[in-house]
């Protein structure tokens, strides 16, 4: 029953993952695609781990009702997915800015 939360949130994860990959539009080379693929795979795997952990916490707590198993599983899965995507966005932004700076300095150095 823990997998129900992943099934319900899978379309939202796909939408967030597509938006993550689409923006910013440039540069879109092989290194960027590899970084994005690794980030999305990591987000999905950690989301599954967090979902199972949240469901287990709901099962272990005897005073929680049966719906809380699913609620905790969804909250943990969504939190893990968003945490990885936010971290990846911050890393990717820094990385792309460094690449742009290096490319600009190469052009400036090469034209003199």
Q: Each residue of 55-108: pLDDT tens digit?
A: 999 889 888 788 888 889 999 999 999 999 999 999 999 998 998 888 888 888
Across the chain, which distance is largest between two alpha carbons, in Å?
73
Q: Each residue of 30-43: pLDDT tens digit?
A: 999 999 999 999 99
- 64 contacts 58 by C-beta, under 8 angstroms: yes
The gap from C-alpha 108 to its chain's centroid, in whole angstroms, comes to: 36
Q: Is 80 exposed, middle or buried (0-12, 13-18, 19+ CB in 10 A)?
A: buried
Instruction: Give the integer Cα–Cα distance in Å for 104 and 14.
Output: 34
Report the predicted TM-score, pTM, of the whole model to 2 decimal places: 0.87
């Amino acid at each position: 029953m823990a997998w129900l939360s992943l099934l319900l949130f899978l379309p939202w994860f796909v939408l967030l993952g597509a938006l993550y990959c689409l923006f910013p539009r440039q540069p879109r080379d092989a290194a960027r695609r590899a970084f994005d693929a690794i980030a999305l795979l990591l987000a999905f795997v950690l989301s599954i781990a967090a979902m199972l952990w949240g469901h287990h916490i709901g099962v272990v707590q005897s005073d929680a009702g049966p719906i809380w198993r699913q609620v905790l599983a969804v909250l943990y899965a969504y939190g893990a997915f968003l945490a990885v995507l936010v971290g990846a966005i911050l890393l990717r932004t820094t990385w792309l800015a460094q690449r742009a700076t290096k490319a600009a300095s190469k052009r400036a150095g090469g034209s003199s």
